[in-house]
Amino acid sequence: MPEIAFVKPAMPKHGALVLPIAEDGVAAGLHAALDQASGGAITRALEAASFKGRKGQSATIWAPVEGISRVVAIGLGKAGEINAEAAEAAGGATYALVAKERDATVAAEGLPAPLAAAFALGLQLKSYRFDRYRTTEKEDDKPKLEKVVFATDAATACKNAWAPLRAIAEGVFITRDLVSEPPNVLHPVEMAERCKPLEKLGLTIEILGPKEMKKLGFGAFLGVAQGSPVEPRMVVMQWMGASGSGTATAKKKPAQKPVAFIGKGVTFDTGGISIKPAGGMEDMKWDMAGAGTVIGLMAALAGRKAKVDAVGLVGLVENMPSGTAQRPGDVVKTASGQTVEVINTDAEGRLVLCDVMHYAQERFDPRFMVDLATLTGAIIIALGHEHAGMFSNDDTLAQQLAAAGKPVGEAVWRMPLGEAYDKQLKSEIADMKNVGGRPGGSITAAQFIQRFVNKGRPWAHLDIAGVAWSSKDLPTAPKGATAFGVRLLDRLVADHYEG
């Protein structure tokens, strides 16, 4: 993650110079000064490259004057249409073009502070790399960028706009790191331990093991865990930003009901006895992406000192086949008292969520709940990799989520719920089955979860199976873990639930 700084404009003496240029924009500031110093070479080079400043355009000019190794022109699009998302995309594109430099300067005089900060965010998000297990990579193949300076006459305003975005970027990186880790390293116990350092941000962290969960009646959750020799964990994270200092204490009463975020954390999912096909099973290391998102979100909220009381709960478990594993046909009793006939042990995420969600409601009485899970392959068939599936019992919360996702590029699409789907969960021997058949699989999964939402409690379920991992580069994320949901939910809180 390169260091970001905002300073008064001055021509750099070395490194790269980045020129963000609007469509048909006029050279000014450092752009004009460099053009003059180079005898008009910048203008001539951009004309030769047919660079017009269109969105997505870029051009590189090598060593136009002494000291500056390259000049990178980045198109911003039409001046009246430049928003934060466009600035972020331009920042992401910039990183790829200057990554081999030690330092770079962005001529940001023409960008208002919010857009300059958004440009910096896009650049930083695109800089993510997960390379801790690479031992033979050549030095020349590694990025070298250490610092990016934004030259602006509004340095103080830019710093103020950047501070919360920096905390959000760090939350995103936490999530991407967790989702990228191999499953032999990041098992439930290890993932829970990695939450502890977040206490330095002011979060209160509690870790519950199988003994505590057994006392709480987590029969569904523990049923998933019983096939693995690695113990399950539940992590409870609290941030009390509306009640004074963020740290929760026994004597401190919340200023308001907290908002609650719950994440599915299956650190590896074989499917259990209902075992998955071998092809692609290695991808199931990121079946804990919902939990990873909640952890990164809580870090972001604490990092930017959000004025909200929030709780994040993650259920961490490994779904493995063994002689002690849960069997198809087993009946488990959930913490809510409802019983479930387990038809398919590969439909395990909902069994984890139902107990954690019940606990969240009983202990915290939240204003609303949002759960995140890489829950079904069916949602990928329905929506591809462009949208997360959103299910909700509350129109207001659903509208807020959809609106929050648009400016940060994390789109959700509302899916239906209804009694006809709910009937597919009918069991002959228990209160419900854990699957409702192939038709509408993502919907019946959401219907299952909804059975554990208390009456009158606003709730939304985000099925992120299609968007938690990308097989191609995205504007502000290299291929791999996306951390989808961190920025969406942070924006939800910022827009509607702070103060």
CA–CA gap between residue 129 and residue 142 (Å, rounded): 10
Lowest average pLDDT, out of 24-28, 88-92, 386-390, goes to: 24-28
- pTM (two decimals): 0.96
* pLDDT average, residue stretch 190-215: 98
Range 3-155 has CATH code 3.30.460.80: no
Spatial neighbors of 69 by CB under 8 A, at least 6 apart, are: 14, 15, 16, 62, 63, 101
pLDDT at 249 over 90: no
User: Residue 265: helix, strand or coil by DSSP?
Assistant: strand
Residue 222, number of CB atoms within 10 A of its CB:
20
Chosen CATH of 166-496 out of 3.40.630.10, 3.40.980.10, 3.90.580.10, 3.40.50.720? 3.40.630.10
Structure tokens at 246: 């963020």
Residue type, 119: F
pLDDT in tens, 448-493: 999 999 999 999 999 999 999 999 999 999 999 999 999 999 999 9
pLDDT at 1 over 90: no
CA–CA gap between residue 17 and residue 67 (Å, rounded): 10
* Domain definitions of the chain by residue range: 3-155, 166-496
Nearest residue to 468 (alpha-carbon basis) of 460, 459, 477: 477
pLDDT at 368 over 60: yes
pLDDT at 89 over 60: yes
Q: What's the pLDDT score for residue 255?
A: 61
Output DSSP code: residue 279: T
| Residues belonging to the active site | 276, 350
The pLDDT > 90 percentage for the chain reads: 94
CA 139 to chain centre: 30
- Residue 29, phi then psi, degrees to nearest 5: 55, -135
Total residue count of the chain as it appears in this document: 499
Q: Is 25 exposed, middle or buried (0-12, 13-18, 19+ CB in 10 A)?
A: middle
CA–CA gap between residue 262 and residue 294 (Å, rounded): 7
Nearest residue to 288 (alpha-carbon basis) of 151, 436, 188: 188
The full 3-state SS of 395-464, as one line of letters, equals HHHHHHHHHHHCCCCCCEEECCCCHHHHHHHCCCCCCEECCCCCCCHHHHHHHHHHCCCCCCCCEEEEEC
Residue 112, number of CB atoms within 10 A of its CB:
16
Contact 464, 386 (CB under 8 A): no
Structure tokens at 321: 């086949």
Residue 101, number of CB atoms within 10 A of its CB:
23
Contact 277, 360 (CB under 8 A): no
pLDDT in tens, 266-304: 999 999 999 999 999 999 999 999 999 999 999 999 999
Report how far apart the first and last C-alpha atoms of the chain are (Å, whole number).
31
Spatial neighbors of 132 by CB under 8 A, at least 6 apart, are: none
Handedness of CA 183, 189, 192, 193 (dihedral sign): negative
Contact 85, 407 (CB under 8 A): yes
pLDDT in tens, 19-36: 999 998 888 999 999 999
Contact 440, 351 (CB under 8 A): no
